[in-house]
Structure 1
Amino acid sequence: MKNALITLLLALWSSVAIAKVERIWMTHQSPDNSKIVISWETTAPGDSMVEFGTSPQLGESVKVDGSRTLHHVEIPLAQKDVVYHYRVKSGDQASDIHTFKGYSSKLLRIAVVANIRADAKLNFTAIKKDEPHLLISAGDTAMQYQFATQADKEATKSHSTAIDTQAELFRSTPLMVSLGNLDRKIRPNGLSMEEPGYDIEATGYRKFFALPGKEWIWAWDIPDFDLRLISVDMSHTGDFGKPNQACHAFDKDSEQFKWFEETMNGTKAGFVVTMFGETGGTVRRHAEGGWKRVIGKGTLAISGECYHAERTEVDGVTYYNSSVRGNGTFGHDPQAAFSDKAASYQLLTLDREAGTLKSELKALDDGRVLDSKTFTKRAK
């Protein structure tokens, strides 16, 4: 009996000692793509270390002292056109060695998705075949209230679940996230309408994802491809000032509009993509047309609000909507030049030598191209 107990204790100790880290994702926090943040969660608190290199032998490491279960470690990306290998460690907990592609020097592919909503049934096979260097979520990556028994602003379990739905993809491709209303919703519909339904500050979202700037709004650059991405906080704007208000103020005197205008005016990039979680037609009307005016200084705008694929041309500016959920019945733009009910994603391909950006709306089920348009650099 004593020997059996000792054997059991040794087995339990061994399982703890080699506990494997499975939930890993990558984002960018610095203002450009010269660094990347490796993030992971552990069952027990500990320090944070990433070992990395351009071969399975790794060779370099960055360590952050302290004890935590949610880990963010930023590492440099010194080389292009290579495959990086990495492993994360926290105390006795460690991951396998995983890989991700370093950024390309010639052709850059960015896949844009929306409305993942922590849904494990979504099939991203077509996206994986495109081998994107970067993923962007244009809103509603998770449903923060999904597992909450009370209004917990710092809850991150739904974000964790969203990562688990595409675990291999998210640990091999960096993910830049743009806010949607469900990413900060802290009470399900039907509860007291006298209390806020959303955490305007997006506390749990900003805790879970390491993003640039204020995180609820951000700007981020890929200098080699003359590209700037700008994410603003616009979702369900019709509920502003009500208990179901889902975003920061967006009027012409608001903090974010002033930031957006200043950011756009200071942008020298040849390609500028603006992202938001509201319909393009609604955004164009806000701030007395100010949003339309400032967005028009960029290249294109992307929304993840509605459940269909759409391209709209207004005064020489292109507005897109796409969603990994299809057959939507709301938010169709009467000015749309193209529309399709298919569940879709958007693939942006930048050709450095040609100086072009090709935007394709693609069907999620098989990757077929639904709509395509090529952009040249804007006048600076």
Structure 2
Amino acid sequence: MTRFLLFLILLSSSEAATIQRIWLSFQRETPTHLTVNWETEQPAPSEVRYGINIEAPAVPPQQRKQGFEMGSVFSDRLVTLHHLEIPIPTKDVTYDYQVVSGTETSAVHHFKAMPTKELRIAVVGDWGFAQPDLAALIKDDPHVLMTAGDNVSSLHQQGREGTKAFSALIDSQPELFRSTPFMPVLGNHDREIRSRGPKPPPEAVYDVDATAYCEFFALPGNEWNWTLTFPDFSARFVALDLEHIQDMGTTWQTGHPFDEASAQLTWYRQQMEPSRSGHTITLHNERSATMRGQLKGEWGRLFQRGSAAITGFGYFAERAMVDGFPCYNTALKGNGDKYPDPKSAFFASEHSCILLTFKPKSPMQIEIKNLAGQVLDTQSVPAK
């Protein structure tokens, strides 16, 4: 059956679409496959039907003449939280897809394949405490949306226990999450299972293992830390589990250890110490100035082996420069307390996001933008 006929079948079935909560992610360390994620009320099998949209303007004319067969991936496991990978080998095109679970289906949705000429990555922070208007970010048309932590406010308020807080996040921007791969990074609030209170209680306030987060999202590696590499642009992102490090060893401990003997530090050294060309960007949720000084400056040394570090610790927009190395802070809620980095070179109390633009064999462009789309700060960073 041709791609066109299958597209008509999908289009007709989308009129009765019942599956609404869908999001995309990458589960491998290079984006050769895309993971389609969705939820159903009742346990059901999982299927993703997909193919290249031959009507999309991005498809080269020579490919439009060929037509395409649809692909399909299926799992007979009965689940309510669905994660299925599909291969996305063709670049510079638009893909159609539809999810199916038993008698339930979604509408036909679309996502951009990986590009070859320009890659745009948006990074946001502190989504859990904001009600952002993301129209300007969506207009920037990022290929991937990443975060710098605190994606939700907690896992225990307003009936949002377990994974329900993350479901509510997806529901807040359904079209964005259906069309743009989402790669979150952990903050303390993403695993807060009890109220913090004025002093450490007898029981743990945070789930250090981030069980709900790792269950809900399909990410590379350990999921609480991960890497994602875009070989065509010599660009790599490294996600760490760093936040509220002063509470380590108490019932307020939020994340995985980061000391000299820790698995996290060993893993990060493995990512950063080999000589690599291109760009490596570190994402985390601790204050950069605090983290740079840990272990007699070892964490700062490892940061600086890359091209930039981005955190969502404070509710403001900032770029600090440490011996020419840029450390960013971004927050969708940008009107909080001000505590600039000692090396601060740009600071603004504005709701913000960061847009990174990569082109082959070109410097990386990093822009701090407010949510009206205005560029507040821009840097051109040569490849290592």
Shorter-chain TM-score above 0.5: yes
Q: Is the 8 A contact 2:17 2:107 kept in 1?
A: no
Separation (CA, whole Å) in 1 of partners of 2:255 and 2:275: 24
TM-score (structure 2 length as normaliser): 0.89
Instruction: Report the counterpart of residue 112 of structure 2 in structure 1.
Output: 101
One-letter amino acid of the counterpart of residue 30, structure 1 = R
Instruction: Report the counterpart of residue 71 of structure 2 in structure 1.
Output: 60
Provide the secondary structure at the position in 1 that maps to 2:179.
coil
* 2:100 paired with 1:89: yes
Provide the secondary structure at the position in 2 that maps to 1:135.
strand
Instruction: Report the counterpart of residue 136 of structure 2 in structure 1.
Output: 126
TM-score (structure 1 length as normaliser): 0.90
* 2:295 paired with 1:278: no
1:324 to 332, 342, 345: 332
2:359 to 338, 341, 351: 351
Bigger CA drift: 261-270 or 101-110? Answer: 261-270
CA-CA distance at 1:235 after TM superposition: 0.4
Instruction: Note closer, same or farther for the CA distance 1:227–1:247 as it changes in structure 2 (3 Å cut).
Output: same
1:112 to 85, 103, 123: 123
One-letter amino acid of the counterpart of residue 369, structure 1 = V
2:155 to 145, 149, 156: 145
CA-CA distance at 1:240 after TM superposition: 1.1
One-letter amino acid of the counterpart of residue 293, structure 1 = R
One-letter amino acid of the counterpart of residue 133, structure 1 = H
Instruction: Note closer, same or farther for the CA distance 1:270–1:140 as it changes in structure 2 (3 Å cut).
Output: same
Q: Which runs of 5+ in 1 are unaligned?
A: 1-16
Instruction: Report the counterpart of residue 233 of structure 2 in structure 1.
Output: 225
One-letter amino acid of the counterpart of residue 92, structure 2 = D
Instruction: Report the counterpart of residue 6 of structure 2 in structure 1.
Output: none
Instruction: Report the counterpart of residue 207 of structure 1 in structure 2.
Output: 215
CA-CA distance at 1:267 after TM superposition: 6.0
Pairing 1:29-44 to 2, within 5 Å after superposition: 29-44=27-42
Q: Is the 8 A contact 1:118 1:161 kept in 2?
A: no
One-letter amino acid of the counterpart of residue 161, structure 1 = A
Separation (CA, whole Å) in 2 of partners of 1:355 and 1:117: 35
* 2:375 paired with 1:376: no
* 2:370 paired with 1:363: yes
Instruction: Note closer, same or farther for the CA distance 1:58–1:370 as it changes in structure 2 (3 Å cut).
Output: farther
Separation (CA, whole Å) in 2 of partners of 1:159 and 1:112: 18
Instruction: Report the counterpart of residue 261 of structure 2 in structure 1.
Output: 253
Instruction: Report the counterpart of residue 8 of structure 1 in structure 2.
Output: none
Instruction: Report the counterpart of residue 161 of structure 1 in structure 2.
Output: 168
* 2:187 paired with 1:177: no
Q: Is the 8 A contact 1:143 1:159 kept in 2?
A: no
Instruction: Note closer, same or farther for the CA distance 1:280–1:223 as it changes in structure 2 (3 Å cut).
Output: same
Instruction: Report the counterpart of residue 28 of structure 1 in structure 2.
Output: 26
CA-CA distance at 1:148 after TM superposition: 6.7
Provide the secondary structure at the position in 1 that maps to 2:201.
coil
CA-CA distance at 1:26 after TM superposition: 0.5
CA-CA distance at 1:144 after TM superposition: 3.7
Q: Alpha-carbon deviations, 1:63-91, whole Å to 9, x = none?
A: 12210000000011111110110000110
RMSD: 1.8
Provide the secondary structure at the position in 2 that maps to 1:178.
coil
One-letter amino acid of the counterpart of residue 350, structure 2 = A
Provide the secondary structure at the position in 1 that maps to 2:45.
strand
Q: Is the 8 A contact 1:147 1:157 kept in 2?
A: no
Q: Is the 8 A contact 2:188 2:244 kept in 1?
A: yes
Instruction: Report the counterpart of residue 49 of structure 2 in structure 1.
Output: 51
CA-CA distance at 1:236 after TM superposition: 0.8
Q: Is the 8 A contact 1:252 1:288 kept in 2?
A: no
Separation (CA, whole Å) in 1 of partners of 2:189 and 2:201: 17
Q: Is the 8 A contact 1:118 1:159 kept in 2?
A: no
- Deviating runs (4+, > 4 A) in structure 1? none
Q: Is the 8 A contact 2:26 2:181 kept in 1?
A: yes
* 2:89 paired with 1:78: yes
Separation (CA, whole Å) in 2 of partners of 1:92 and 1:49: 11
Separation (CA, whole Å) in 2 of partners of 1:77 and 1:209: 19
Separation (CA, whole Å) in 2 of partners of 1:61 and 1:221: 26
Bigger CA drift: 234-243 or 137-146? Answer: 137-146
Instruction: Report the counterpart of residue 57 of structure 2 in structure 1.
Output: none
CA-CA distance at 1:143 after TM superposition: 3.0
Instruction: Note closer, same or farther for the CA distance 1:19–1:52 as it changes in structure 2 (3 Å cut).
Output: closer
